[in-house]
């Protein structure tokens, strides 16, 4: 009986430890308020969100994938000689305690060649891969503005 109690206690401790590991991981890189503008099949759209880095070290967003678009690229919009240009980014760095906002006229995820229409109220999943934090799947809400 005593042995059984010890085993059960041990199991509880193990479960608690693995849960706290999970939440510690969630406290690393946090992605919030993901949204995208409505668009039509074959056309592009862009995904925006906030990334918060609660790690003690810099992390990098390395790549993006989704089922909704043929190509998924990390872009940065900026003014070059009075015109708005988009440049594909090899990675995006997020420093410790930094909140980086992906937003119109700045960083965004470019969805190229949508496989279906996306309408206001729709939701879809994209997967972000970070150098330190690994893969994060997020739900993107389709709406006209943030």
Using CB under 5 A, count the residues that bind Cu ion: 3
The residue assigned the tokens 């999943």 is 125
**Contact stretch for Cu ion (CB under 5 A) within 11-19, 47-55, 104-112, 135-143:** 104-112
Considering the rule CB under 5 A, would residue 37 count as an interface residue with Cu ion? no
When CB distances to Cu ion are compared, the closest residue is: 75
Kindly state the DSSP code that residue 39 receives in the 8-state scheme: B
Q: Which of 35, 75, 114, 130 binds Cu ion (CB under 5 A)?
A: 75
Q: Is the dihedral of CA 54, 55, 61, 64 positive or negative?
A: negative
Q: Which has the closest alpha carbon to 50: 113, 111, 92?
A: 92
Q: Which of 24, 86, 87, 105 binds Cu ion (CB under 5 A)?
A: 86
CA–CA distance, 52 with 33 (Å, rounded to integer): 11
Interface residue list for Cu ion (CB under 5 A): 75, 86, 110
């Amino acid at each position: 009986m005593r042995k059984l109690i010890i085993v059960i206690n041990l199991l509880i401790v193990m479960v608690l430890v693995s849960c706290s590991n999970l939440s510690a991981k969630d406290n690393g890189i946090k992605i919030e308020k993901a949204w995208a503008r409505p668009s039509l099949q074959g056309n592009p759209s862009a995904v925006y969100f906030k990334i918060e880095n609660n790690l003690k070290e810099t992390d990098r967003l390395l790549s993006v994938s989704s089922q909704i678009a043929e190509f998924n690229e990390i872009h940065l919009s900026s003014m070059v000689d009075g015109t708005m240009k988009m440049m594909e980014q090899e990675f995006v760095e997020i420093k410790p305690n930094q909140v980086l906002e992906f937003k119109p006229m700045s960083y965004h995820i470019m969805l190229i060649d949508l496989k279906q229409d996306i309408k206001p109220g729709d939701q879809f999943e994209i997967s972000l891969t970070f150098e330190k934090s690994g893969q994060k799947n997020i739900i993107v809400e389709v709406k006209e503005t943030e």
